[in-house]
Amino acid sequence: MNAKPVDALRLDVAQLAAEGAELAGQWPLSELTRLADMHMAGDGPAAEVQWQVQGELRPVTGGAAEVWLHLQAQVELDLCCQRCLGPVHETVTIAKPLRFVSDEAQAAALDAEMEDDVLALERTLDLRELVEDELLLALPLVPRHAECPVPLPMPADDAVADEMANPFAALAQLKTRGSGQT
């Protein structure tokens, strides 16, 4: 087996599939900036994205073999709890087969009718960008603690909360008051 280094940012998916090869590695979370934006960095070790891909050629009777990439990735994130705004620890994982076809039109047509995702095969694939896209899609829509570690605001604070939630209403009140004096 030749040990030619493979650039995951310019991955030749067709070749990976033809060889049935497997690749794995990790990236510092800081290199995936859109995902890093979701992370509330604490004092712990810097987060890393673990990833693994395996290429596969699926033979098709009487046609060209299908190109598949089996993608797996995992990252530990501290997301912002939507209830207390504190960090909530989440392990985000993806594991999905992706099919690659020769052009965008074919990809769009197949993607609509297949359960698996279908992508157009570029000469090279930026695997890091793909992994980041997939992890972003896998994030919980509303991250929150099962039980928040800090006490939530008491009902008595509701009036303040309402005013904060609707600064325009407060502003409108001020305006009304102001015009009354002229």
Q: How far apart are CA 49 and CA 92, in angstroms?
A: 10
Which CB, 28 or 149, lies closer to Zn ion?
149
For residues 134 and 53, the answer to whether their CB atoms sit within 8 Å is no
Residue 92's CB is within 10 A of a number of other CB atoms, namely: 20
Which CB, 82 or 106, lies closer to Zn ion?
82
CB of 84 to Zn ion, least distance (A): 3
Binding site for Zn ion (CB under 5 A): 81, 83-84, 86, 145, 148
Supply the DSSP string of 59-86, one letter for each residue: EETTEEEEEEEEEEEEEEEEEE-TTT-S
**The amino acid at 149:** P
Which CB, 21 or 84, lies closer to Zn ion?
84
The residue sitting closest to Zn ion, measured at its beta carbon, is: 81
CB of 166 to Zn ion, least distance (A): 23
Which CB, 142 or 156, lies closer to Zn ion?
142
CB of 41 to Zn ion, least distance (A): 17
Which CB, 55 or 87, lies closer to Zn ion?
87
- 102-111 in b/e form (b: 16+ CB < 10 A) is eeeeebeeeb
CB of 161 to Zn ion, least distance (A): 16
CB of 46 to Zn ion, least distance (A): 23
| Residue 138 dihedral angles phi and psi, to the nearest 5° | -90, -5
**92 closest CA partner among 132, 150, 46, 52:** 132
For residues 3 and 48, the answer to whether their CB atoms sit within 8 Å is no
